[in-house]
């Protein structure tokens, strides 16, 4: 991403709203007839990517999926509805929130079954990082999610640095340990 590249104009959260509905079929379930966690994560990834595409107007890749809560099981025959929007954009990355509901088609009962945050990174035609527009939050909920997204990014970065340091320390320990055995 070149320094001279200017950031595109900001976009509203509403312009990124995306939605997908799926019927849960036998192929999607485990032997108890409940939706497989991996299949749910696939649906979450797809719905999240839709919001990121709508915001960035570029190719996007999933960089991270974190803080996923599986609140209750989804059953065979339920209708699954997923809704996503971009919470905040940084330089080339965007945090997207996805919320999932299951509808029992016999009773009409609707339950919140999962929520997740994902980070997508914008990529240009040459596979390089691309700048993304800023998010312009407007409603109180959008402003809250916008502020929380920065806290989560800082937490992710701190955790990444901690893991990197732990790995470095472990590698140094192995080298020291090997030296001691020589």
52 or 114: whose CB is closer to ligand COA? 52
Return all residues near 121 (Cβ < 8 A) that are at least 6 apart: 60, 61, 63, 92, 93, 94, 129
Q: According to the binding rule CB under 6 A, does residue 150 interact with ligand COA? A: no
* Cβ atoms of residues 118 and 45 within 8 Å: yes
CA 86 – CA 72 distance, rounded (Å): 25
Q: According to the binding rule CB under 6 A, does residue 75 interact with ligand COA? A: no
Q: According to the binding rule CB under 6 A, does residue 23 interact with ligand COA? A: no
| Helix, strand, coil share (%) of the chain residues, nearest 5 | 35, 35, 30
Q: According to the binding rule CB under 6 A, does residue 135 interact with ligand COA? A: no
Task: Report the site for ligand COA in 36-65 (rule: CB under 6 A).
Answer: 61-64
CA distances (Å), origin 133, targets 110, 123, 150, 151: 34, 13, 16, 20
Q: According to the binding rule CB under 6 A, does residue 30 interact with ligand COA? A: no
Q: According to the binding rule CB under 6 A, does residue 129 interact with ligand COA? A: yes
Q: According to the binding rule CB under 6 A, does residue 158 interact with ligand COA? A: no
29 or 88: whose CB is closer to ligand COA? 88
Return all residues near 44 (Cβ < 8 A) that are at least 6 apart: 65, 68, 82, 98, 100, 114, 116, 118
Looking up tokens 């099981």, which residue turns up?
A: 73
81 or 87: whose CB is closer to ligand COA? 87
Q: How far is the CB of 62 from ligand COA (least distance, A)?
A: 4
Return all residues near 28 (Cβ < 8 A) that are at least 6 apart: 22, 35, 36, 39, 76
Q: According to the binding rule CB under 6 A, does residue 102 interact with ligand COA? A: no
Q: According to the binding rule CB under 6 A, does residue 90 interact with ligand COA? A: yes
Q: According to the binding rule CB under 6 A, does residue 104 interact with ligand COA? A: no
Query: Using CB under 6 A, which of 92, 100, 114, 135 touches ligand COA?
Result: 92
Residues near ligand COA (CB under 6 A) are 61-64, 90-93, 119, 121, 129, 156
């Amino acid at each position: 991403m070149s320094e001279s590249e200017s950031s595109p104009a900001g976009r509203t959260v509403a312009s990124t709203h995306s939605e997908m509905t799926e019927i849960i079929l036998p192929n999607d379930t485990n032997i108890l007839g409940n939706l497989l966690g991996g299949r749910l994560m696939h649906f979450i990834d797809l719905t999240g990517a839709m919001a990121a595409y709508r915001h960035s107007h570029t190719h996007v890749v999933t960089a991270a999926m974190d803080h996923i809560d599986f609140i209750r099981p989804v059953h065979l025959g339920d209708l699954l509805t997923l809704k996503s929007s971009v919470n905040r954009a940084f330089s080339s990355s965007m945090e997207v929130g996805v919320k999932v509901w299951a509808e029992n088609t016999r009773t009409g009962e609707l339950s919140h079954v999962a929520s997740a945050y994902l980070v997508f990174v914008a990529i240009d035609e040459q596979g390089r990082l691309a700048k993304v527009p800023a998010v312009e939050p407007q409603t109180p909920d959008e402003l809250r999610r916008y502020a929380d997204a920065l806290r989560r990014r800082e937490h992710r970065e701190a955790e990444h640095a901690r893991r990197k340091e732990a790995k470095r320390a472990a590698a140094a320990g192995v080298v020291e340990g090997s030296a001691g055995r020589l």
